[in-house]
Chains A and B, each alone.
Chain A
């Protein structure tokens, strides 16, 4: 099963490589990983998407908790949560027809056209990863020139919050 794991780490030299190293050393996979400092500059928050059965996820969380830099670990997928990923896509839009089609699709998916040239539209899209996948599928291979995705970030719904 796919899990979104949020990790608060000390904003220290080598913290990211230690988390990544743990995954490679123990053979856990990382589907995607995002990391940035938080409102507290001494802390960074990592969001990591991984796939594994309950036993593997339990081990991942326990092993993460053994790292010195790790302050807090939470499996977002345990409860109700919000997941977001951002994507920038360059698509070929050389004809009137193509431009209209791209604009229409982008509107349907609540995307925004950020940049326009004679032949190319650049679109921004935000949502759960599944939605981004669906947009790419709808666009079709032929028009896609470049895709960049931010990786997933997540936050739990309701009262629950992750703070030191």
Chain B
């Protein structure tokens, strides 16, 4: 079997059904192998390929498609690109996947080993470049190690804190012919040993008792759930734990869907653009339980004033390096989120823990009622919040939502419901504009039966506009809802707040781009633009009900802002809720000490 065939066979053995990629000189042998593999193994009746090869417009698209596939399904996403520019185009998705802990295996072609280091055509030092971005990079220099390397790449991508793994395969390794073993991994003894101890990590009786001692001393506990709950498939365990002891939950941007956002205990999202009531709950809690979250600067802008009344902070994470990185905590456990939470639930039941948090839960409910999300509902201009709110009514929080980065991303996070995990695909940590469309495409391949909607902005969608064509090439029922505010809205919002309204480089009002024509030229069968508020509901309904690629552009109020907002480096006390969300009167420190007995909060 050739090296190229070996690669494809390992992919098939790993259960890969879709490969995203763009061909080129140094990866041609593997593209030939995938072609032949599909020809030999094609399902006769349906004509479907066992290893569906999906070709984007740009390799960055392939990277984000693999990420969207992985995020929506929980499986490892795979991309296959050529050397040099093909590989460097995937640097952004690789870094993005690292920052959001997404399991990806990227296979990059490389010039033959003999040509490496000679500045050969389409040569780039991928090991060095990706080494700074990926969870790990393998360079295959011994062909007899190729098979084990590809297999190990999958193990590394999905184990522990998931992440992207790149395998750089020189062309002569692909052309080598040898025997296929069908098994075997690289030794990676240190890593594997650490993973084994992580998997077997058990919460001791003593630590469980300490945890429940703290919970027992608390009267206002709050769960702070992050992306680790989603990546660790621990949403059920989190919900079970929260319900078992009646503890409200705030989630991070990455943690949306960790608990059904319509659940009574859900306080939706906290942070810079979190719900006012979520941030108030953080301000009021006396015991903060962080699970799979990392006190990121978009959550804890001012760490020393984050959850200021918390007597204790507990932290569960799979990555030991996150414990104590930003915030020193009173109790920490390194382990899988789901296992750790169910161990705690069991211990709590066994020990008969029955502290009553009803007053606190009521207080949180009251916060939700008193400080609901809102916007200018009377405005003649189309408010973006209104668009997302109406869309959410139609999807009932059951659609998978992908986004770009900016205002539209925050409106989508705030006004959509997420009834479960893996329904929210967004570039959280890296904040990569252009993520939404390719991620939605990848997600649609992973979940053909689900409704996938890319809520995008005009700035973000431009970044990977070429992938519009990929949607129609594969006739995917991906829906694109473009909120067009003629520029980079989030940048303008910051320029309004901090840069004297100098809209440097962010105003695109004079751009002549016609997105509707663009969608038409790519062959979208449903294309519509909404400029009048009165048309919106009906257009959205048509858009959601359409079967097939659908594109809807809505011209929104250019001046709409994202609120609430906690400015960078600021504490939640300095949160600005804007004109339409009722804010809480700032209490003096002494008054705030007992949120449960401050009558005007109810």
Q: A21-B132, A59-B325 are in contact. Are A72 and B139 (CB under 8 A)?
A: no
Whether the Cβ atoms of A13 and B139 lie closer than 8 Å is yes
Whether the Cβ atoms of A17 and B188 lie closer than 8 Å is no
Residues of B within 8 A of A14 (CB): 127-128, 131, 137, 139
Decide yes or no whether A108 CB sits under 8 A from chain B. no
Decide yes or no whether B156 CB sits under 8 A from chain A. yes
Decide yes or no whether A75 CB sits under 8 A from chain B. no
Number of A-B pairs, beta carbon distance below 8 Å: 46
Interface residues of A in 1-28 (CB under 8 A from B): 8, 10, 13-14, 17-18, 21, 25
Residues of B within 8 A of A63 (CB): 321
Residues of A within 8 A of B127 (CB): 13-14, 17
Residues of B within 8 A of A10 (CB): 187-190
Contact check: which of A17, A58, A72, A164 meets B324 at CB < 8 Å?
A58
- Interface residues as binary, A57-77 with B (CB distance below 8 Å gives 1, 0 otherwise): 011001101101111100000
- Interface residues as binary, B430-463 with A (CB distance below 8 Å gives 1, 0 otherwise): 0000000000000000000000000000000000
- Interface residues as binary, A103-123 with B (CB distance below 8 Å gives 1, 0 otherwise): 000000000000000000000
Whether the Cβ atoms of B131 and A13 lie closer than 8 Å is no
Residues of A within 8 A of B132 (CB): 21, 25
Whether the Cβ atoms of A59 and B321 lie closer than 8 Å is yes
Decide yes or no whether A55 CB sits under 8 A from chain B. yes
Chain A binding surface SS class: mixed
Category for how many chain A residues contact B: 20 to 34
Q: A13-B141, A68-B136 are in contact. Are A18 and B321 (CB under 8 A)?
A: no
Interface residues of B in 188-243 (CB under 8 A from A): 188-191, 194
Whether the Cβ atoms of B320 and A68 lie closer than 8 Å is no
Q: How far, in angstroms, from A42 to B324 measured CA to CA in the complex?
A: 33
Q: How far, in angstroms, from A71 to B188 measured CA to CA in the complex?
A: 8
Whether the Cβ atoms of B131 and A72 lie closer than 8 Å is no
Whether the Cβ atoms of B188 and A68 lie closer than 8 Å is yes
Decide yes or no whether B390 CB sits under 8 A from chain A. no
Nearest CB in chain B to that of A24: its residue? B132
Q: A62-B321, A68-B156 are in contact. Are A18 and B131 (CB under 8 A)?
A: yes
Q: A55-B324, A59-B321 are in contact. Are A71 and B131 (CB under 8 A)?
A: no
Interface residues of B in 95-145 (CB under 8 A from A): 127-128, 131-132, 135-137, 139, 141
9 closest Cβ pairs, A-B complex = A71-B190, A62-B321, A68-B136, A68-B191, A62-B320, A14-B127, A70-B190, A21-B132, A63-B321
Q: 6 extra interchain contacts, Cβ-Cβ under 8 A, other than A17-B131, A62-B321, A72-B190?
A: A10-B189, A21-B132, A59-B321, A59-B325, A68-B136, A70-B190
Binding site for A on B (CB under 8 A): 127-128, 131-132, 135-137, 139, 141, 156, 187-191, 194, 319-321, 324-325
